[in-house]
Chain A
Amino acid sequence: MDIWSTLNDTFLDWGSMKEVLPEMLKVGLVNTLILAAASVVLGTVLGMIVAVLALSTKPWLRWPAKIYTDIFRGLPAILTILLIGQGLSPITRHWWGPNPYPLGILALSLIAAAYIGEIFRSGIQSIEKGQLEAARALGFSYTDGMRLVVIPQGVRRVLPALVNQFIALVKESSLVYFLGLLASQRELFRIGQDAAATNGNLSPLLLAGIFYLIITVPLTHLVNHFDKRLREGRPAEPEDVKLEELAHANH
């Protein structure tokens, strides 16, 4: 059982897992959640702005949004993170010192905004023209019709794709490790990797992987739930409704 014991030593060294567990919980998990949550919020806000600009009838608003999307969707995430995280740090260190966190979050958000912008745009465009027409016929301005009627429906329709993007962000948050983190700033991956190097086996990284799954798997199920709800909708009994309608018509 040579292979088994090698695998066992590499991946299932309970001792080194137990040793790193408190730090993984108190430091790694917290930092990963902060990075992911902050870039989800900022990326969603920026993504909505990109989507609204991309849908504008004015070319001078539409084109910057399209170019932005092409660039940030087309570059490898790690390259963008390094360019922004390292490139801008001489400027931003005047404001918050050498802390790589804000720039890491900014880079993750800018990348996410390109994808999320496209998701929102496709959702908003998929809403039937009659919805805006009905809103306008009631007296809503174009802006209010979009804000109150079209965009809320578009967002609902793309919730599954949006949550998938959030899952990607949780995973991509590990890339900020390339910016160099203080011990207290390390996220799940970095803590797992450091402990793996110290212990000479990959068990701490496996533990980090388990933590990622604890975050992402429930999100995946949330996607499936939204998807099912969108496909099947709420249960209705059209035949009953029709009979009731007939009864009413005959009164």
Chain B
Amino acid sequence: MYKVESATRLADRVYEYWIRAPQVAQHARAGQFLILRLHDAGERIPLTISAVRGDTVRVIFMAVGKTTEELAMLRAGDSIKDVVGPLGKPSEIETYGTCCVIGGGVGIASTPLIAKELKSAGNHVIGIIGARNADLLILEDEMQEVCDELYITTDDGSKGIHGFASDVLKKLLEERTIDRVWIIGPAIMMKVTSGVTVPYGVKTYVSLNPIMVDGTGMCGSCRVTVGGETKFACVDGPEFDAHQVDFTELMQRQRIYTGQEKVSLERFAEHRCRCGEGGGHHE
């Protein structure tokens, strides 16, 4: 069993959990993820390792499906049945020069660790974090601390620059040389934003989030097409050269279980109502 040390609500439906998992914490590097299973009837879901402190690791997630809704109900002191990690290859951290680390929405969760390791490797690190609105923007202080420069964007202009991370990236690329770019966010955001770096020929990494089961290279559920070849995000990734990724296929495969996911979530909501559990318990 893996104990939840703290459970905090960061924004609407967005939660920050610190979980005691020594073997994950001891070995985790930027860009890696873990897989957790809440209980014996649970599914295995991958979540990015967002930070490490002692024997605990942090995950940040949005409650959008049955398992994340159920996870969001756990409080400090509760336990998670299974946690395995770190999984996947770490980010390719080297001394490149100037690097840009971009996070969109809940994808911002991955950015501080990558930015921090890039900074330690001697890079000048530019952060861009974007959200739909000011309320959904997370980890601003943390990114401020680890980046040399930080840009904030919101879709509605309620904070920072009115627009998208891709707008800022484009402007930066016009003004100066950027050697490497990391983009983490929803598939469509990664597709659009990485398109910006193509004309500049800047190597750009995206962290892919396909559906997984074992997460160790055994099942092939997470296969993605990169440069015309089938790759497994869990062992070959999760970070890939953005310009080689077939995002359309990724998004199509993310929708395989849309129907079942709806059934599962509705059933869970009904069950929760019957048990008198409302939402908002983290307030």
Are both chains from one complex? no
Chain A contact residues, CB within 8 Å of chain B: none
Chain B contact residues, CB within 8 Å of chain A: none
